[in-house]
Chains A and B, each alone.
Chain A
């Protein structure tokens, strides 16, 4: 009998996702537009860019470095069989610029900054700080949520560009000094095969989309969390998981659209 119970439950859940998505979209739009609200503070925005962007730098640089180096190794062992190691530079650059840069930056961001964002907003909600703001006639979306969402949107592409660069450099370090690929060929082939608008800009555009999505989900999960200790913990976990899966799904869609 418990089996039969799960089907209407699933149906109920599915039916809730549509209005849920609508509410979440309204939330995002209101937050983004509240840049024009009296209570939006650029000082708050800068604080959040510092908190999300600047403080994620070390994480991104280290991750990018290792990613680039691994790409160098794996790429080398794959290409050396065809005598095509001259394409290693291109392989590393395109992999990073088109896919690994945006996606890994977004996933790491979701884990580090997204979870912090959700925890912060949900505990502010649980301790009635958001209600207090409402009572003081300060729009909590403008004061708390909007600076954080905009900070994410601004930070993620910047982090991605830095990730790409550091990753390529890491790949270079492995390919040329260590594995002995010719340095000139490495860069020359890369330069002739990587286009600014086709590869670099589209990768950054992806990063921008991911930035919006990750911060949106993180803020929404925090805003709608149940105001208990358990609720905060749940919301934080759910935020990272949902954001990560959405990034991967969105990556598929964007790749199909942009690189067809």
Chain B
């Protein structure tokens, strides 16, 4: 990776109570790239996003954004850095008491004192970019899932951030909406000259827009590379994940006390009627 890294993780460890989530993760995310973060559910992907956004602190290791160590930043400095980040939450996290327009305008109103017509132009511009300028006056309850996701996306990029996080942006959407979101992610990344980190399960859609991918399993990165590299990976776990195979290094059966045949024999012997 010749491009300079915007986000760097050095031997990051994170545990929830006694349960380890990340066991030494090294990562370099180059500027301008769309990077995918994949792995099994509960594997720590959302945790990684939170660590990168500074809402969680690692037990050990360093996280640097644009060269700044997150742990060393004061609360004010952290907030200043966050103004250059945007995040699309899994369920949109729109403010239910505000209209779509007001949702997108929210960061602008909170951080700047803009004249009303300038603010209006900026917000409408972002709404137009996601194709929902006509829905500006609707409330989140009146929007479909896909539309809500797009409004949340407009809100995430309204301040032209340099780093954008997407937490499962395709989950729960119909194929058309998925296609729309995917193309928006790609277009916005290019238009803003930003870096995007995408957490997703949808391998096909993700690979169609990502430049680079990381597969997280067992608290570590077990495979990384461009989509082509990953598909050709010799890691059995990576192949199982990418190929959607039901059984492999991640077993199909949740460990039970007894082998099923033995369990059947025992219950039959005990006289239970099957």
Binding site for B on A (CB under 8 A): 39, 127-129, 131-132, 134-139, 143
Q: Are A135 and B55 in contact (CB under 8 A)?
A: yes
Q: Known: A136-B82, A136-B106, A137-B79. Contact between A128 and B91, CB under 8 A?
A: yes
What residues of A have a CB within 8 angstroms of the CB of B85 in the complex? 135
Identify whether the interface residues of B are mostly helix, strand, loop, or mixed: mixed
Q: A132, B87: Cβ atoms under 8 Å?
A: yes
Q: Which residues of B contact A139 (CB under 8 A)?
A: 79
A39 to B83, CA, bound (A): 14
Known contacts A127-B96, A138-B106, A143-B110; 16 further A-B pairs (Cβ under 8 A):
A127-B91, A128-B89, A128-B90, A129-B95, A131-B89, A132-B87, A135-B53, A135-B82, A135-B85, A135-B87, A136-B82, A136-B83, A136-B155, A137-B83, A137-B111, A138-B107
Q: Which residues of B contact A132 (CB under 8 A)?
A: 87, 89, 93, 95
Residues of A within 8 A of B106 (CB): 136, 138
* B80 at interface by CB-CB < 8 Å: yes
Please tell me if the beta carbons of B110 and A127 are within 8 angstroms of each other in the complex: no
A134-B55 contact, Cβ under 8 Å, with A39-B110, A129-B96:
yes
Instruction: Report how far A196 CA is from B229 CA in the complex, Å.
Output: 82
Q: Given the known A-B contacts A135-B53, A136-B106, A136-B110, are A129 and B93 also in contact in the complex, defined by CB atoms under 8 Å? A: yes
Q: Within the complex, what minimum Cβ distance (angstroms) separates A28 from chain B? A: 19
Shortest Cβ distance from residue A260 to the other chain B in the assembled complex, whole angstroms? 45
List, in ascending order, chain A residues with CB within 8 A of B87's CB: 132, 135
Partner of B110, one of A128, A134, A138: A138
- Are B93 and A127 interface neighbours, CB within 8 A? yes
* Residue in B closest to A134 when the chains form the complex, CB atoms: B55
B86 partner residues in chain A, CB cutoff 8 A: 135
Within 8 A of A (CB), among B36-93: 53, 55, 79-80, 82-83, 85-87, 89-91, 93
Task: Determine whether the beta carbon of A128 is less than 8 Å from that of B82.
Answer: no
CB distance from B52 to the nearest CB of A (A): 11
Chosen A-B contacts, 26 in total, with CB atoms closer than 8 Å, are A39-B110, A127-B93, A127-B96, A128-B91, A128-B93, A129-B93, A129-B94, A129-B96, A131-B89, A131-B93, A132-B87, A132-B89, A134-B55, A134-B82, A135-B53, A135-B82, A135-B85, A135-B86, A136-B83, A136-B106, A137-B80, A137-B107, A137-B110, A137-B111, A138-B107, A138-B110
Which B residues lie within 8 Å of A127 (CB)? 91, 93, 96
Closest CB in chain A relative to B274 CB, distance in Å: 33
Q: List chain B residues, Cβ under 8 A from A143.
A: 110
Q: How far is the CA of A254 from the CA of B55 in the complex (A)?
A: 41
The answer to whether A131 touches B55 (Cβ under 8 A) is yes
- Nearest 10 interchain pairs by C-beta: A128-B93, A132-B93, A137-B82, A137-B79, A135-B87, A136-B107, A137-B83, A128-B89, A138-B110, A129-B93
